[in-house]
Amino acid sequence: MTISRRNFLGASGGMALISASAVSGRAQAAAIPEAATMNDAVMQPPLVPTTGPDYQPVVTLNGWTLPWRMNGDWKEFHLVAEPVVREFSPGMVGHLWGYNGQSPGPSIEAVEGDKVRIFVTNRLPEHTTIHWHGQLLPCGMDGVGGLTQPHIKPGQTFVYEFQLQKSGTFMYHPHADEMVQMAMGMMGFFVVHPKDPAFRRVDRDFVFLMAAYDIDPGTYVPKVAEMTNFNMWTWNSRVFPGIDHIVAGKGDKVRIRFGNLTMTNHPIHMHGYDFKVSCTDGGWVPEAAAWPEVTVDCAVGQMRAFDFVADAPGDWAIHCHKSHHTMNAMGHDVGNFIGVDKKEFSKKVRQIVPEYMPMGTAGMADMGEMEMPLPDNTLPMMTGFAQFGAVEMGGMFSVVKVREGLASGDYKDPGWFKHPEGTVAFEWKGEPKKAERAPEPRFDTKKTAEVRVVKPGNRPIGGHDNH
Ligand SMILES: [Cu+2]
């Protein structure tokens, strides 16, 4: 049965379904808990605990938390590995693999000391397993297909049982045909809250996983053999402008946690603040040792969390600092035409390609505003508008919106920041001063380039080649 979480997370709160399905009799205890399914990429309200220790639940950007039920003293979850359709941003979907209707899968939240029983049903066309990245558990629950357990074949359901040894920031992903299954989007967050509700507590706690995809414009399925040349750099399988904003009230203690399941590192940079790196997938950084940063690198297979007090209102950019990771599918193969006379050049190219459109002769910023015809199912390489114009970003980019007077638990987009008067960069309109300038670079177009061809074995003297 497919349940839209949106329906049961109504005004009455998310716990209605969970208590309704609470186990009473033996027959029910033996049954598999319901597997909730999510139909869209809309951020769901955090799942506030109604039993057990209190904690501040996380908010999954463009995602949700998996409901559970109590069965005796076991907390039971049900994950379903299956093909899904994920919207990357309005205008583009990917045919991915994920869990319970989405990629990434729903976040799992529990408390230090909890006994968790996680049912995993495989609806993929091939076998899978789940590895609980960072958790301390019995070896046979570690989820490495072939090594610690038999693979979960299509149609089978396996059960993982372990007690959560420590609080912190973890994730789950397959350890079976990993190259394919992670390139297809199979991953999810796993947050273990401290038993002591006051320990390292924050007011708002956001999570996202980084995944990279290679999806050609006009197609839907990621190319799973790609190693380096990805064109979709995503947070929770979303790209700017489709990534949720991170909304906080002035004065809130905020935590942002992320993990990296791409094939390269991501230096995550936040504007307007310095922050403290508070948690890794290995555990909490002692408060006295939490180090300050404005950019924290997250290597492949790592998780990082940082904390800050949202004391500076504004619309602050947060993004990966690799500039190619703030771009979408179109345009990664564009040559550098800066300085080229585009009229002459286009005239010549149009003799071969009549619809050729020159781009980027002054830079590439014009592409942020360009409305060019795109193939089906792809996104412009940089896009997204804010109050002052095109943001010229894609991929791993979002906005931390800090506002005065937000109610706790209010994650709605508050709109663009109203800057206090006199605090926005402005155009100088006085007398222009005669500035010394470097002379214009001149290119001698008549001189042909010199190309040197060296036969193998006749390498120029002084090279470092050992052949
Ligand atoms: Cu990056």
C-alpha distances in angstroms, 248 versus 203, 244, 256, 404? 9, 13, 11, 9
Token pair belonging to 278 = 């508070």
- Ligand 1 center to 167 CA (angstroms): 27
Burial group, residue 105, by CB count within 10 angstroms (0-12, 13-18, 19+): buried
Instruction: Report CA(341)–ligand 1 centroid distance (Å).
Output: 33
Angle among Cα 423, 242, 248 to the nearest 5 degrees reads 50
Question: 229: Cβ–Cβ under 8 A, 6 or more apart, which residues?
Answer: 214, 332
The CA distance from 363 to 367, in Å, is 9
Cβ–Cβ < 8 Å for 39, 6? yes
Set out the domains of the chain in order of their start, with CATH numbers: 5-317 (2.60.40.420)
Question: How far is 62 from 419, CA to CA, in rounded Å?
Answer: 27
Categorize the per-residue pLDDT at 349 as very low, low, confident or very high, splitting at 50, 70 and 90: low
Tokens standing for residue 92: 């583009």
Span from the CA of 268 to the centroid of ligand 1 (angstroms): 7
| pLDDT tens-digit readout, 58-92 | 999 999 999 999 999 999 999 999 999 999 999 89
Residue pLDDT, tens place only, 358-402: 555 566 665 555 555 677 888 877 678 899 998 888 899 999 999
Proportion of the chain above pLDDT 70, given as a percent:
77
Q: What pLDDT was estimated at residue 365? A: 64
Burial label, 228 (beta-carbon count in 10 A; 0-12, 13-18, 19+): exposed
pLDDT digits (tens, 9 = 90+) for 394-431: 899 999 999 999 999 999 999 999 999 999 999 999 88
CB contact at 8 A, 191 and 202: no
pLDDT (0 to 100) of residue 229: 86
Given this model, what pLDDT does residue 355 score?
59
Q: How far apart are CA 95 and CA 27, in angstroms?
A: 37
Of the pLDDT bands very low, low, confident and very high (cuts 50, 70, 90), residue 261 is: very high
**DSSP H/E element including 59:** strand 59-60
Q: Is the pLDDT of residue 287 over 90?
A: yes
Q: What is the CA(398)–ligand 1 centre distance, in A?
A: 13
Cβ proximity of 308 and 284 under 8 Å: no
Q: Which residues of 61-89 are buried (b: 16+ CB within 10 A; e: fewer)?
A: bbbbbbbbbebeebbbbbbbbbebebbbb
Distance in angstroms (rounded) separating the CA atoms of residues 426 and 11: 45
41 CA from centroid of ligand 1 (Å): 22
**What is the percent of the chain with per-residue pLDDT over 90, rounded to a whole number?**
67
In the predicted structure, residue 436 carries a pLDDT above the cut 60: yes
User: Which of 150-154, 201-205, 410-414, 427-431 is the least confident region?
Assistant: 427-431
Q: How far is the CA of 311 from the centre of ligand 1 (A)?
A: 27
Q: Which residue has the higher pLDDT, 316 or 376?
A: 316
pLDDT in the model for residue 338: 63
Distance 328 CA to ligand 1 centre (A): 12
Distance 395 CA to ligand 1 centre (A): 9
pLDDT of residue 379: 82
Full-prediction pTM beyond 0.85?
Answer: no
Which of 121-135, 283-297, 368-382, 446-460 shows the lowest per-residue confidence on average (mean pLDDT)? 446-460
pLDDT tier at 204 (50, 70, 90 boundaries)?
Answer: very high
Cα 172 to averaged position of ligand 1 atoms, centre (Å): 21
Separation of 239 CA from ligand 1 center, angstroms? Answer: 12
CA 233 to ligand 1 center in whole angstroms: 7
Instruction: Take residue 15 and report the two structure tokens written for it.
Output: 């716990």
Higher pLDDT: 383 or 313? It is 313
Give the pLDDT score at 341.
Answer: 66
Position 3 pLDDT exceeds 60? no
For the residues 292-310, what does the mean pLDDT come to?
97
pLDDT at 455 exceeding the cut of 90: no
